[in-house]
């Protein structure tokens, strides 16, 4: 009994490796399959077998073809993404280069424009434009150390001067009648002072700025100080105006002509019309006719008698270490720029004691 039970158990777990012809008949019934005779092949069965093989091959090729198509479709987006990834940085680089070039060109144009037109006049509406520079509260030292004897020598030479070298206070102004900050310091061009900024607004206009030239003139006329005027090309359009001041000094009309040339009208004329053109001198003579005979002024300018003097004047300014305008000296203390007289007052007061 035990042996029989053991055999039954093995039969239940047995998996046949070969299927008999009888089993095939039962599965594919009612088709009758005859046992082929040796060396004889049924044409019909061969045809069916052949069709199955062909169909299997077609299906297999189709599957492989579909797989290849799928792979191509998968590669295509990757290729597109790669192209986009490569093109994007390139486009950014080209754009950056273009923007950089544009900025450089713009900066160059702006810098050149500022250099050429800063502190210039808009002749069409007679409006002055000046940058509000910030002079420091302390006097600066010139590039060359200047002695008091050098300052005194200016009053002993053939220069525009009032008073002598023996007074306690010696004022020297290095100026250009076309220079905007010279006009600001002159105190006769309120329009320019207003546009230059609050710090240059004159006291008479509600500001705190005190014209140094006006105060120097007062002290000189009072006999407490001496004053000298020296030309230096600080703005580029002041040669004819400077010659006019020498011509006026010759006739004892310096301050009268200076007041006109340092006004808004004088600034506009020198910078917009005359511009060192001697053929335009008649217009300058016309502007200053109330201060000096216009024929005398025109004759003096056209003679060119002071042209060489301007060259000597510029050499004198350079010897004092002055490279810009305006420049002021109170004795040998240098104030480079359009300082308010308030900044100079303590030096003046100390010298007068």
Phi, psi torsion values for 50, nearest 5 degrees: -65, -45
Residue 309 has pLDDT above 50, yes or no: yes
156 assigned to some structural domain: yes
H-type alpha helices, 262-306:
264-268, 281-287, 294-303
163 assigned to some structural domain: yes
239 assigned to some structural domain: yes
Residue 41 has pLDDT above 50, yes or no: no
The tally of domains found in the chain comes to 1
- What is the predicted pLDDT for the residue at 161? 98
d(CA 229, CA 317): 10
Contacts of 273 (CB under 8 A, 6+ apart): 123, 280, 283
| Phi-psi category of residue 329: left, alpha or beta, with phi > 0 → left and psi -120 to 50 → alpha | beta
Measured in residues, the chain has a length of: 353
What is the per-residue pLDDT across 178-191, written as a single tens digit (0 to 9) for each? 999 999 999 999 99
Rg from Cα positions in the chain? 51
Question: Could you tell me the residue range of the domain that residue 343 belongs to?
Answer: 141-352
Residue 238 sits in a domain whose CATH number is: 3.40.30.10
234 assigned to some structural domain: yes
312 assigned to some structural domain: yes
pLDDT band at 323 (very low <50, low <70, confident <90, very high): confident
Tokens at 80, concatenated: 């597109």
Share of the chain above pLDDT 70, in %: 59
What is the per-residue pLDDT across 215-242, written as a single tens digit (0 to 9) for each? 999 999 999 999 999 999 999 999 999 9
> Which of these ranges, 15-24, 151-160, 173-182, has the smallest mean pLDDT?
15-24
Residue 101 has pLDDT above 90, yes or no: no
- What is the pTM for the complete model shown? 0.63
Residue 112 has pLDDT above 60, yes or no: no
- What is the predicted pLDDT for the residue at 85? 46
CA angle 273, 288, 339 (to 5 degrees): 80
254 assigned to some structural domain: yes
Residue 210 has pLDDT above 90, yes or no: yes
The average confidence (pLDDT) of the chain is 75
């Amino acid at each position: 009994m035990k042996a029989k039970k053991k055999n039954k158990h093995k039969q239940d777990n047995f998996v046949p490796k070969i299927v008999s012809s009888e089993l095939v008949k039962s599965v594919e019934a009612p088709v009758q399959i005859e046992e082929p005779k040796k060396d004889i092949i049924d044409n019909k069965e061969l045809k069916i077998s052949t069709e199955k093989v062909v169909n299997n091959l077609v299906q297999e090729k189709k599957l492989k073809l579909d797989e290849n198509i799928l792979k191509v479709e998968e590669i295509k987006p990757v290729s597109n993404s790669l192209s986009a990834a490569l093109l994007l940085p390139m486009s950014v680089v080209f754009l950056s280069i273009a923007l950089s070039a544009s900025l450089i060109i713009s900066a160059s144009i702006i810098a050149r424009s500022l250099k050429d037109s800063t502190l210039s006049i808009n002749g069409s509406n007679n409006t002055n434009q000046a940058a509000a520079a910030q002079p420091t509260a302390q006097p600066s030292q010139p590039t060359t150390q200047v002695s008091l004897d050098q300052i005194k020598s200016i009053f002993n030479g053939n220069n525009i001067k009032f008073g002598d070298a023996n007074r306690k206070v010696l004022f020297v102004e290095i100026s250009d009648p076309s220079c905007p900050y010279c006009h600001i310091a002159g105190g006769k061009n309120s329009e320019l002072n207003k546009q230059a900024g609050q710090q240059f607004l004159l006291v008479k206009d509600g500001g705190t700025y005190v014209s140094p030239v006006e105060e120097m003139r007062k002290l000189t006329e009072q006999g407490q100080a001496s004053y000298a005027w020296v030309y230096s090309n600080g703005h580029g359009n002041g040669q004819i105006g400077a010659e006019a001041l020498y011509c006026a000094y010759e006739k004892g009309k310096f301050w009268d002509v200076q007041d006109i040339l340092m006004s808004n009208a004088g600034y506009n004329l020198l910078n917009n019309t005359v511009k060192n053109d001697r053929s335009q001198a008649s217009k300058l003579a016309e502007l200053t006719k109330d201060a000096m005979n216009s024929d005398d002024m025109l004759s003096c300018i056209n003679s060119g008698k002071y042209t060489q003097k301007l060259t000597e004047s510029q050499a004198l300014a350079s010897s004092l270490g002055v490279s810009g305008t305006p420049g002021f000296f109170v004795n040998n203390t240098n104030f480079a720029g359009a300082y308010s007289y308030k900044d100079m007052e303590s030096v003046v007061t100390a010298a007068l004691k």
